[in-house]
A and B are shown apart, each in its own frame.
Chain A
Amino acid sequence: MTMLAGSAGQEAACLAVLLAAGEPGLGGGLLIGAGGTGKSAIARAMEGVLPEGTPFVTVPLHADGPALTGAIDWERSVAEGRRVLRPGLLERARGGVLLLDDLHLLSPETAGLLSRAAGVTLVATARSAEGDLSRHLLDRFGLVAPMALLHRPAERRAVLIAALAGPDPGAADRAGRLVAAARSRLLRLPVLAPLVEEAIAILAEEADAEGHRGELFLARAARALAAWEGAPAVTIGHVERMAPLVLEHRRRQERAGETPPEEQRDEAGDSGASQDTPGDGSPPPPDGAQDHSAGADAGPDDHPGDPSEGIEPPRDGGRPREEVMETGESFQVRPIRPPKDRVRRHCQGRRSPSAARGRTGHVIRTVDRGEPGDIALMATLRAAAPFQRARGREGRILIVKDDLRYCRREGHVSSLVLFLVDASGSMGAARRMVAVKGAVRSLLMDCYQKRDRVALAAFRRDDAELVLPPTRSVERAERRLDGLPVGGRTPLAAGFVEAGRVIRQEQRRDARGRILLVLLSDGRANQALAGGQPLDESRNAARLLAGRPGLDILVIDTEDKRSFHRADLARQLAADLAADYVTLSDLAAPDLADLVRATRRRLSFH
Chain B
Amino acid sequence: MMFPFTAIVGQEALKTGLIVNVIDPGVGGLLVMGEKGTAKSTAIRSLADLLPAMTAVAGCPYRCAPRPQGDGPHCDCPACADPAGATVPVRMRVVELPLGITEDRLIGTIDIEEALQSGRKRFERGLLAEANRNFLYVDEVNLLEDHIVDLLLDSAAMGRNTVEREGISVSHPARFILVGSMNPEEGELRPQFLDRFGLAVRVAGLSDKEGRLQILRRRMAFDADPAGFAKGWEREQQALADRIATARDRLPGVTVPEDILDRIVAITASLALDGHRADIVMVRAARALAAFRGMAEAGVEEVRDIAGFALMHRQRRQPFEEMGAGAGRLDQILADTLT
Taken together as a complex, chains A and B put the C-alpha atoms of A164 and B162 apart, in Å, by: 26
Within 8 A of A (CB), among B104-142: 107, 110, 112, 115-121
Assess whether A498 is interfacial by the CB under 8 Å rule: no
Taken together as a complex, chains A and B put the C-alpha atoms of A130 and B116 apart, in Å, by: 41
Taken together as a complex, chains A and B put the C-alpha atoms of A399 and B112 apart, in Å, by: 14
Taken together as a complex, chains A and B put the C-alpha atoms of A444 and B280 apart, in Å, by: 33
Check if B269 sits within 8 Å of A152, measured CB to CB: yes
Which residue of A38, A153, A163, A478 contacts B320 across the interface (Cβ within 8 Å)?
Answer: A478
Assess whether A82 is interfacial by the CB under 8 Å rule: no
Assess whether A277 is interfacial by the CB under 8 Å rule: no
Which residue of B117, B165, B264 contacts A64 across the interface (Cβ within 8 Å)?
Answer: B165
Taken together as a complex, chains A and B put the C-alpha atoms of A149 and B269 apart, in Å, by: 11
Residues in A whose Cβ lies below 8 Å from that of B110: 378
Check if A156 sits within 8 Å of B103, measured CB to CB: no
Q: A62-B107, A75-B121, A160-B261 are in contact. Are A37 and B319 (CB under 8 A)?
A: no
Assess whether B196 is interfacial by the CB under 8 Å rule: yes
Check if B167 sits within 8 Å of A74, measured CB to CB: yes
Assess whether B157 is interfacial by the CB under 8 Å rule: yes
The segment from A212-220, A390-398, A573-581 that touches chain B is A390-398
Which residue of A61, A161, A377, A395 contacts B150 across the interface (Cβ within 8 Å)?
Answer: A61
A residues contacting the other copy or chain, number (CB 8 A) = 69
Using CB atoms, name the residue of chain A closest to B117: A396
Assess whether B195 is interfacial by the CB under 8 Å rule: yes
Check if B280 sits within 8 Å of A60, measured CB to CB: no
Q: A75-B119, A393-B119 are in contact. Are A160 and B150 (CB under 8 A)?
A: no
Assess whether A105 is interfacial by the CB under 8 Å rule: yes
Assess whether B283 is interfacial by the CB under 8 Å rule: yes
Residues in A whose Cβ lies below 8 Å from that of B162: 58, 60
Check if B320 sits within 8 Å of A268, measured CB to CB: no
Check if B103 sits within 8 Å of A159, measured CB to CB: no
Assess whether A585 is interfacial by the CB under 8 Å rule: no
Within 8 A of B (CB), among A361-379: 362, 377-378
Taken together as a complex, chains A and B put the C-alpha atoms of A127 and B264 apart, in Å, by: 25
Check if B165 sits within 8 Å of A157, measured CB to CB: no
Check if B279 sits within 8 Å of A153, measured CB to CB: no
Within 8 A of B (CB), among A97-121: 101-102, 105
Assess whether A445 is interfacial by the CB under 8 Å rule: yes
Assess whether B164 is interfacial by the CB under 8 Å rule: yes
Check if B274 sits within 8 Å of A156, measured CB to CB: no
Taken together as a complex, chains A and B put the C-alpha atoms of A86 and B276 apart, in Å, by: 41
Q: A127-B192, A151-B269, A441-B319 are in contact. Are A160 and B119 (CB under 8 A)?
A: no
Residues in B whose Cβ lies below 8 Å from that of A586: none
Check if B276 sits within 8 Å of A160, measured CB to CB: yes
Assess whether A266 is interfacial by the CB under 8 Å rule: yes
Within 8 A of B (CB), among A64-85: 64, 66-67, 71, 73-75, 78-79
Assess whether A34 is interfacial by the CB under 8 Å rule: yes
Check if B115 sits within 8 Å of A397, measured CB to CB: yes
Taken together as a complex, chains A and B put the C-alpha atoms of A362 and B165 apart, in Å, by: 14
Determine how close the nearest CB of chain B comes to the CB of A27; give it in whole angstroms: 23
Q: A37-B276, A160-B265, A350-B146 are in contact. Are A377 and B119 (CB under 8 A)?
A: no
Determine how close the nearest CB of chain B comes to the CB of A111; give it in whole angstroms: 14
Taken together as a complex, chains A and B put the C-alpha atoms of A146 and B196 apart, in Å, by: 21
Check if B151 sits within 8 Å of A62, measured CB to CB: yes
Taken together as a complex, chains A and B put the C-alpha atoms of A52 and B157 apart, in Å, by: 27
Assess whether A474 is interfacial by the CB under 8 Å rule: yes
Determine how close the nearest CB of chain B comes to the CB of A163; give it in whole angstroms: 5
Interface size class of B (residues with CB under 8 A): 35 or more
Check if B265 sits within 8 Å of A75, measured CB to CB: no
Within 8 A of B (CB), among A462-500: 474-475, 478
Using CB atoms, name the residue of chain A closest to B264: A160
Determine how close the nearest CB of chain A comes to the CB of B95; give it in whole angstroms: 20
Determine how close the nearest CB of chain B comes to the CB of A238; give it in whole angstroms: 30
Residues in B whose Cβ lies below 8 Å from that of A89: 164
Check if A151 sits within 8 Å of B272, measured CB to CB: yes
Residues in B whose Cβ lies below 8 Å from that of A164: 280, 283
Which residue of A34, A78, A396, A442 contacts B275 across the interface (Cβ within 8 Å)?
Answer: A34
Which residue of A40, A60, A78, A388 contacts B157 across the interface (Cβ within 8 Å)?
Answer: A40
Determine how close the nearest CB of chain A comes to the CB of B270; give it in whole angstroms: 9
Q: A40-B157, A381-B115 are in contact. Are A159 and B165 (CB under 8 A)?
A: no
Within 8 A of B (CB), among A30-63: 33-38, 40, 58-63
Using CB atoms, name the residue of chain A closest to B103: A62
Assess whether A330 is interfacial by the CB under 8 Å rule: yes
Determine how close the nearest CB of chain A comes to the CB of B25; give it in whole angstroms: 15
- The 0/1 profile, CB within 8 Å of B marked 1, for residues 145-172 of chain A is 0000111111011011101100000000
Assess whether B241 is interfacial by the CB under 8 Å rule: no
Check if A395 sits within 8 Å of B146, measured CB to CB: no
Assess whether A572 is interfacial by the CB under 8 Å rule: no
Assess whether A313 is interfacial by the CB under 8 Å rule: no
Assess whether A264 is interfacial by the CB under 8 Å rule: no
Using CB atoms, name the residue of chain A closest to B157: A40
Using CB atoms, name the residue of chain A closest to B162: A60
Determine how close the nearest CB of chain B comes to the CB of A106; give it in whole angstroms: 10
Check if B151 sits within 8 Å of A163, measured CB to CB: no
Check if B195 sits within 8 Å of A36, measured CB to CB: yes
Check if B151 sits within 8 Å of A61, measured CB to CB: yes
Q: A35-B192, A36-B276 are in contact. Are A378 and B320 (CB under 8 A)?
A: no
Check if B103 sits within 8 Å of A163, measured CB to CB: no
Check if A35 sits within 8 Å of B195, measured CB to CB: yes
Using CB atoms, name the residue of chain B closest to A89: B164
Taken together as a complex, chains A and B put the C-alpha atoms of A393 and B320 apart, in Å, by: 62
Q: A34-B275, A71-B167 are in contact. Are A156 and B115 (CB under 8 A)?
A: no
Residues in A whose Cβ lies below 8 Å from that of B274: 33-37, 149, 151
Assess whether A449 is interfacial by the CB under 8 Å rule: yes
Assess whether B97 is interfacial by the CB under 8 Å rule: no
Assess whether A269 is interfacial by the CB under 8 Å rule: yes
Residues in A whose Cβ lies below 8 Å from that of B192: 35, 127, 130
Determine how close the nearest CB of chain A comes to the CB of B179; give it in whole angstroms: 20
Taken together as a complex, chains A and B put the C-alpha atoms of A45 and B150 apart, in Å, by: 22
Check if A153 sits within 8 Å of B265, measured CB to CB: yes
Check if B318 sits within 8 Å of A73, measured CB to CB: no
Which residue of B119, B150, B278 contacts A78 across the interface (Cβ within 8 Å)?
Answer: B119
Check if A474 sits within 8 Å of B320, measured CB to CB: yes
Taken together as a complex, chains A and B put the C-alpha atoms of A266 and B318 apart, in Å, by: 12
Using CB atoms, name the residue of chain A closest to B318: A269
Q: Name the residue among A66, A73, A156, A445 with the largest chain B CB count within 10 angstroms.
A: A156
Taken together as a complex, chains A and B put the C-alpha atoms of A89 and B188 apart, in Å, by: 35
Determine how close the nearest CB of chain A comes to the CB of B256; give it in whole angstroms: 8
Determine how close the nearest CB of chain A comes to the CB of B315; give it in whole angstroms: 10
Taken together as a complex, chains A and B put the C-alpha atoms of A59 and B187 apart, in Å, by: 31
Assess whether B316 is interfacial by the CB under 8 Å rule: yes
Residues in B whose Cβ lies below 8 Å from that of A101: 154
Residues in B whose Cβ lies below 8 Å from that of A38: 276
Taken together as a complex, chains A and B put the C-alpha atoms of A393 and B120 apart, in Å, by: 13
Taken together as a complex, chains A and B put the C-alpha atoms of A102 and B190 apart, in Å, by: 15
- The 0/1 profile, CB within 8 Å of A marked 1, for residues 217-237 of chain B is 000000000000000000000
- The 0/1 profile, CB within 8 Å of A marked 1, for residues 176-200 of chain B is 0000000000011010100110000
Determine how close the nearest CB of chain B comes to the CB of A153; give it in whole angstroms: 4
Taken together as a complex, chains A and B put the C-alpha atoms of A159 and B261 apart, in Å, by: 11
Check if B276 sits within 8 Å of A266, measured CB to CB: no
Could you list some 16 contacts between A and B, CB below 8 A? A35-B195, A35-B275, A40-B157, A58-B162, A62-B151, A62-B165, A74-B119, A151-B273, A153-B269, A157-B265, A160-B261, A266-B272, A269-B318, A441-B319, A444-B320, A448-B188
New contact pairs (15) apart from A36-B195, A61-B154, CB-CB < 8 Å: A36-B274, A37-B276, A61-B151, A62-B165, A75-B119, A153-B269, A154-B265, A159-B276, A160-B279, A164-B280, A164-B283, A378-B112, A381-B116, A395-B118, A448-B188
- Give A contacts to B, CB under 8 Å: 33-38, 40, 58-64, 66-67, 71, 73-75, 78-79, 86, 89, 101-102, 105, 127, 130, 149-154, 156-157, 159-161, 163-164, 266-269, 330, 350, 362, 377-378, 381, 385, 388, 393, 395-397, 399, 441-442, 444-445, 448-449, 451, 474-475, 478
